């Protein structure tokens, strides 16, 4: 996000992830926030790409069931969510977004962190969260190399988006 804080700024918008809440103050002095891009069609749904957390069990035993129950509790992850060095967003629709504030961070940073948690919850409740899996892909597939070369998946997504805009 450093390019947002240069004088003059290198750009005014930055596509970013949930980790933005921890970097926004350092890069901009607290003068940055976030917004969700509007839907493709007026009044349409606005899917949001989010990270996924999953749990699976391979044995049906009492202790395994208890562990899964513990992880499904709405308070699970509150400690991670309030850690000023982490950017945990709970996949539980009953998780209280207020847990995402960190006691030692400035109010403006906590406001961004809590808003991100609210967005996470709201998109899950509405069934609008999507995963793109690019974070799990090698750079040659889902990322951008040090030289600016786009990976195959990323380039295909951009090409598809461009094609779809011309179809409408």
Extents of the domains making up the chain: 2-131, 132-168
Q: Could you list the beta-strand ranges (E) of 59-167.
A: 129-130
- Compute the average pLDDT of residues 49-75: 88
- Compute the average pLDDT of residues 37-54: 78
Tokens standing for residue 138: 């090698």
Greater confidence, 96 or 86? 96
3-state class (DSSP) for residue 122: helix
Report the alpha-carbon distance of residue 127 to residue 106 in Å, rounded: 32
In degrees, rounded to 5, the angle at the alpha carbon of residue 37 between the alpha carbons of residues 168 and 16 is: 125
Report the alpha-carbon distance of residue 100 to residue 105 in Å, rounded: 11
3-state class (DSSP) for residue 1: coil
Which of 109, 150, 101 is CA-nearest to residue 26? 109
- pTM, whole model, 2 decimals? 0.69
- Specify the range with the lowest mean pLDDT, choosing from 19-33, 77-91, 135-149: 19-33
- Specify the range with the lowest mean pLDDT, choosing from 40-49, 147-156, 157-166: 157-166
Kindly report each contact of residues 89-97 with a partner whose C-beta sits within 8 Å and lies 24 or more positions away, as own/partner: 89/18, 89/50, 89/51, 89/116, 89/117, 89/120, 90/53, 90/117, 90/120, 90/121, 91/52, 91/53, 91/120, 91/124, 93/121, 93/124, 93/125, 95/121, 97/121
Which of 114, 116, 80 is CA-nearest to residue 71? 80
């Amino acid at each position: 996000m450093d390019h947002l804080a240069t004088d003059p700024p290198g750009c005014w918008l930055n596509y970013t992830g949930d980790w933005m809440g921890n970097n926004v103050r350092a890069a901009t002095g607290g003068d940055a926030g976030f917004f969700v891009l509007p839907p493709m069609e007026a009044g349409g749904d606005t899917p949001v790409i989010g990270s996924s957390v999953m749990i699976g069990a391979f044995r049906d035993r009492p202790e395994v069931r208890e562990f899964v129950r513990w992880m499904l509790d709405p308070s699970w992850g509150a400690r991670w969510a309030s850690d000023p060095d982490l950017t945990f967003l709970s996949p539980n629709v009953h998780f209280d977004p207020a847990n995402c504030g960190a006691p030692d961070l400035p109010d403006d940073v906590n406001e961004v962190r809590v808003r991100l948690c609210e967005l996470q919850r709201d998109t899950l409740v509405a069934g609008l969260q999507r995963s793109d899996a690019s974070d799990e892909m090698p750079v040659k597939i889902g990322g951008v190399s040090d030289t600016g070369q786009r990976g195959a998946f990323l380039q295909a997504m951009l090409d598809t988006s461009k094609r779809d805009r011309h179809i409408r």
